Amino acid sequence: MSILQELKRGIFAENPTFRLMLGMCPTLAVTTLAVNGVGMGLATTAVLLGSNLVVSALKNVIPNQVRIPSFIVIIATFVTVVSLLMEAFAYSLYEALGIFLPLIVVNCIILGRAEAYASKHSLGKSALDALGIGLGFTLSLTVLGAIREFLGAGTVFGLQVLSESADMATIFSLPPGAFITLGLMMALINGLTARRGKRSVARRNPAVAKREG
């Protein structure tokens, strides 16, 4: 698989948010603003990259019986490092992400990738997997955040898009808006994938496509 394909896989086919449906807690909680989505996504990507690299490097050293505690220690370390760096250098983001920053530790995406991918693949592949999944997560959160911010506050990335006097649908800034947006986005992606899937199946095996069509 080429590098590009490896990255694409995380963004589309195995998109953690819309396809794998992992890491729902931070997804729902922090995506009130587009910038929060970017921040959370990048923080997760950094942790993911670090843990994937270390887990992949140590995959032959860590005994099978203690692999989960080992992974968690490694992940927790990276999360704490990211958290400290963010508090020192990006405080407003640190404050916006709040409790969800330390909770990256228990984000299933990270342990999932460590367990399912990094512990079985080479260093390079694991790094690409982390970047792909991380980018997919970041993009999903950013899109969700942008939509909610636009509908809820009339801004995108803090820039005024709609006139300030416009009557905004505040519900999109509140928790229910997160569920609604996520649901609609998933429906959209599933719809698109289904069509694409049909097309690609049709391209590869016209007979099957015809029969199923």
* Bridge partners, residue 192, by sequence: none
Q: Closest separation between CB of residue 62 and another protein, Å?
A: 6
Instruction: State which of positions 24-83 bind another protein (CB under 8 A).
Output: 58, 61-63, 65-66, 69-70, 73-74, 76-77, 80-81
Q: Closest separation between CB of residue 84 and another protein, Å?
A: 5
Instruction: Check residue 122 and give left, alpha or beta (phi > 0: left; psi -120 to 50: alpha).
Output: beta
Helix ranges (DSSP H) in the chain: 3-11, 24-30, 34-57, 67-89, 91-97, 108-113, 123-153, 175-204, 206-212
Q: Choose between 63 and 213: whose C-beta lies nearer to another protein.
A: 63
> Tokens for 100?
């969800």
Q: Does 20 bind another protein (CB under 8 A)?
A: no
Q: Choose between 119 and 142: whose C-beta lies nearer to another protein.
A: 119
Within 10 angstroms of residue 50's Cβ, the number of other Cβ atoms is 19
Q: Look-up: residue for tokens 């994938």?
A: 193
Instruction: State which of positions 79-98 bind another protein (CB under 8 A).
Output: 80-81, 84-85, 87-89, 91
Judging by DSSP bridges, how do beta strands 159-160 and 155-156 pair with one another? antiparallel
What is the contact mask toward another protein in residues 94 to 133, using x (rule: CB under 8 A)?
A: ----------------------------------------
Interface with another protein: number of residues (CB under 8 A): 20
In angstroms, rounded to a whole number, what is the distance separating the alpha carbons of residues 63 and 51?
Answer: 17
Residues lying near another protein in the complex (CB under 8 A) are found at: 58, 61-63, 65-66, 69-70, 73-74, 76-77, 80-81, 84-85, 87-89, 91
